[in-house]
Structure 1
Amino acid sequence: MPGIETGEHQHRCVLPFVALPTEVRLLRRAAAAQLDQWGMPAAGDEASLLVTELATNVIKHVGEGTLATLILEWKRERLRVEMHDKSSALPAPRGADCDAECGRGLHLIAAMAADWGAVVTTLGKAVWCEIELGSEAACRRVERAVETLESYRGKGGVVLEGRRREADLEESAIELIADLLHWTSARGLDPDDVLDRAQMHYEAEAA
């Protein structure tokens, strides 16, 4: 899988690939290696999850064997991840019910990313997302976690206060972690390995 970095100081990498399940792992590794080269290994796990989800969506919704392109771009305090494919049909979030696992893809991307979107291009479309780097990332992680947990289990607009709210957020966190472990297992990842890597990133950022 060839990678093209467009200039020593531009921090932009283009990774063409064939949308096949066997290629997703290679694409994930290539992205992690590029982030290591740029000196931002701490962003590797979060970026890998986004790359996996975006590539899997191409396989599911555009078709196996489709030619696609992943673009990584380091933009100051953010890392931009773009997935280009030949379909001009823009994705739309669906209800996150248990029978539509792939429908959770955009919900996961929206929860993890600081910003995301999709645009029609001359050759099809690009789905992009950005994750924050640097000193603001930890604060954004906490804010993002609260936003996600408050809406995760769907309370029908009920607003809780005080200890009831904290207890509800804790319960939602447990459910979310359990669901993510199911997701990692369904993607062929080792849940224990993912938990260990998440713990390592937490400890590194907390320090």
Structure 2
Amino acid sequence: MPGYDITEPQLRCVLPFAAAPAEVRLLRRAAAAQLAQWGLPAAADEAELVVTELATNVVRHVGEGASATLVLERRGERLRVEVHDKSRTVPTLRSAGCDEEFGRGLHLLTSLAVDWGTVLTAMGKAVWCEVEVDKVQACRRVERAVEVLETYQGVDGSAATLGRRWEVVLEESAVELIADLLHWTAARGLDPDDILDRAQMHYEAEAA
């Protein structure tokens, strides 16, 4: 990765990269560092997930070594993450996730994003996602976690009908979700222990 150019300080960051697994790791770190400079460290974990998914899709669907660009842009209460490449093939939810092995990872990504889409450009296309950035990040995390867990394993019923058992159902879903994420992490060539450590660090920093 040759480096990055920042225009409109505190607003926009442009990072050219060559599609490769090693570059994806560098992009995640660069994105987290940039958000820290913007005073948005709480948004780093969400942004890293989005960056990983979008950049990995370039590696897998456009081709390893392909030229691409990551753009981070603060837009009011949202952070926009774009990945530009030279392919004009528009991804769908299925093609972006590729297969069932990665489908749950994409499902999690879309649950984090406020919106996402694809724009055709003169050089190819840009795939983008937007995540919210606000001052009640911890509350949003809890609310979002409940929303994901309530539907993660296709559980029927509600808190009202299941009573106390609902908390047990959510706990079991949380365990399964974490296990599936570890499988997804390993399938991406990442270190599950490293991901757990980073998640713990984010949690402890925000809890403090």
User: Which bin holds the TM-score, normalised by the shorter protein?
Assistant: 0.7 to 0.9
Structure 1 unmatched ranges of 5 or more: none
For 2:193, the equivalent position in structure 1 comes to: 192
For 2:144, the equivalent position in structure 1 comes to: 144
1:142-189 deviations in whole A, cap 9, x for unaligned? 22212211221224xx32332233222211111001111122222333
For 1:167, the equivalent position in structure 2 comes to: 168
State the Cα distance separating 1:59 from its structure 2 match.
1.1
CA distance in 2, matches of 1:159, 1:120: 42
Which amino acid letter does the alignment assign opposite residue 132 of structure 1? E
CA contact (8 A) 2:105 2:181 kept: no
Structural mapping, 1:91-102, within 5 Å = 91-94=91-94, 100-102=100-102
CA distance in 2, matches of 1:159, 1:61: 39
CA distance in 2, matches of 1:119, 1:172: 35
1:37-60 deviations in whole A, cap 9, x for unaligned? 222233223222221111111111
Q: Residues 102 and 88 of structure 1: is their aligned pair in 2 closer, same or farther, counting only changes over 3 Å?
A: farther
CA contact (8 A) 1:57 1:105 kept: no
State the Cα distance separating 1:128 from its structure 2 match.
1.4
Structural mapping, 1:33-112, within 5 Å = 33-94=33-94, 100-112=100-112
Using the size of structure 2 for normalisation, the TM-score is 0.85
Alignment length (residue pairs):
203
1:69-126 deviations in whole A, cap 9, x for unaligned? 100012233221111122222222239x9x6323344313112223322233332222
CA distance in 2, matches of 1:125, 1:203: 38
For 2:205, the equivalent position in structure 1 comes to: 204
Structure 2 unmatched ranges of 5 or more: none
Alignment root-mean-square deviation, CA: 2.4
Using the size of structure 1 for normalisation, the TM-score is 0.85
CA contact (8 A) 1:20 1:65 kept: yes
Which amino acid letter does the alignment assign opposite residue 159 of structure 1? G
Q: Residues 164 and 91 of structure 1: is their aligned pair in 2 closer, same or farther, counting only changes over 3 Å?
A: farther
